[in-house]
Amino acid sequence: MKFEVILAGFGGQGILFAGNLLAQAGMEAGLRVTFLPVYGPEMRGGTCNCTVVLSDREIASPVVTRPKALVIMNLPSFEKFVPRLKPRGLAVVNENLVPRERAAGFPGRRFLFLPADDLAEEEGAPGLANMAALGALVAATRVVPPEKVLSGLESLLPEHRRHLLEANRRVFKRGYEFALRNSATASER
């Protein structure tokens, strides 16, 4: 088993946190993992992405150009990364910021659109759309057990964000359940 995912969006959308959490969950599930963030000017706004690789064998390259999965939180990231998605690969897309019609140009890829911002807002945590998307990815791919993500949150949330632990869990579950109810659709054309 080898699973590669690129997570991308605006700086501030929690892209690096979500990627880091997925890697933490993978490690706690006994997998080999690498987490490669972009860093620098992105920290101050602008596009931001990170690459996570999970495998049951030694991982050579942490750099992946053609991933099996994507988590796309905004339109510029959709345009940049979806063309690189492997055939039959899955893109989890935040439909609050990316129109569904965009998927039409990519035959053979699977898309799971979810209203990540809405789900987070409904849980009273508008900043946590990242967790909704991560929940959807974990449900759609079963790459790590969801409990490992929830327990991973404990080790990863810094002290000053501790009060957000339950909100993170709730939004993650909303995304997870959304994906169980709505399966990914393959692009027609």
Partner 1 sequence: MKPVLVKGSEAIALGALEAGCRCYFGYPITPQNEIPELMARELPKRGGVFLQAESELAAVNMLLGAVSTGVRAMTSSSSPGISLMAETFSYLAALELPAVIVNVSRGGPGLGGIEASQGDYFQATRGAGHGDYHFLVLSPASIQEAYELTAKAFELSEKYRQPALILTDALLGQMKEPLIPRRLRVREYPKDWALDGARGRPARVLKSLFLGPGELRARNELLKKKYRAMRREARAEVLYAEGAELAVCAFGSLSRIVKEAVEMARKKGYPVAFVRPVTLFPFPEKPFRELALRGVRFLVVELNCGQMVEDVRLSVCGRTEVESLALPPSDLPAPEDIYRRIRRCLRRR
Which residues contact partner 1 by CB under 8 A? 20, 23-24, 27, 32-37, 39-40, 60-63, 65-66
CB nearer to partner 1: give 1 or 60. Answer: 60
Task: Quote the least distance from Cβ 39 to partner 1, whole Å.
Answer: 5
Percent helix, percent strand, percent coil in the chain, to nearest 5:
50, 20, 30
Taking the C-alpha atoms of residue 89 and residue 74, their distance in angstroms, rounded to an integer, is 18
Task: Quote the least distance from Cβ 162 to partner 1, whole Å.
Answer: 18
In the three-class reduction of DSSP (H, G, I as helix; E, B as strand; rest coil), residue 123 is classed as coil
Which residues are CB-neighbours of 48 under 8 A, at least 6 positions away? 8, 9, 10, 11, 12, 13, 15, 16, 38, 42
Task: Quote the least distance from Cβ 101 to partner 1, whole Å.
Answer: 30
Task: Quote the least distance from Cβ 24 to partner 1, whole Å.
Answer: 5
Taking the C-alpha atoms of residue 152 and residue 150, their distance in angstroms, rounded to an integer, is 5
Closest CA to 131 of 3, 4, 15: 15
